[in-house]
Amino acid sequence: MGRTYKQLSLDDRCEIACLSANGSSVRQIAAALDRSPSTISRELRRNRGSQVGYTPSYAQHQMRARRWTGGRLEREPGL
C-alpha cells in the first residue's frame, strides 16, 4: 500500500510546544509523537511567531489559512 498522511492536530501541536520548550530534540519529539523527524522540524520552522517562537494556537491558525479551499472554477465562476 501507499503512504497514509495524517495532519497534526491541536493536541499534537501542544505536545510539540511543550516538549520543545523543555529542550527536547526534534528526534525525541518525533519519537514521542510517532511522527517523522522531518514533520516536526518542518512544523517548528514553518510556524514560528516573530517574537515568541512556536505557539500551538498560531500554528493551528496558520494551518487553516494555508489550507486549500477549492478549485479554480469555484474561485473564478466566470471561467
Task: State pLDDT tens for residues 16-30.
Answer: 999 999 999 999 999
pLDDT band for 2, please (50, 70, 90 cuts): low
Return contacts of 10-15, CB within 8 angstroms, 24+ apart: 10/56, 10/57, 10/60, 13/43, 13/56, 13/59, 13/60, 14/56
Task: Enumerate the β-bridge partners of residue 54.
Answer: 48
42 falls within a domain: yes
When pLDDT is averaged across residues 10-15 and rounded to a whole number, the result is 96
pTM, to two decimals = 0.78
pLDDT tens for residues 33-57? Answer: 999 999 999 999 998 877 788 999 9
Instruction: Specify the length of the chain in residues.
Output: 79
pLDDT score recorded for residue 1: 58
2 in a domain, yes or no? no
Q: Does residue 19 lie within any of the structural domains?
A: yes
Position 3 scores a pLDDT of 67
Domain span at residue 46 reads 10-64
The Cα–Cα gap between 79 and 67 comes to: 23
Q: Which three cell numbers stand for residue 41?
A: 522540524
Structurally, the chain folds into a number of domains equal to 1
**C-alpha to C-alpha distance for 30 and 27, rounded to whole angstroms:** 5
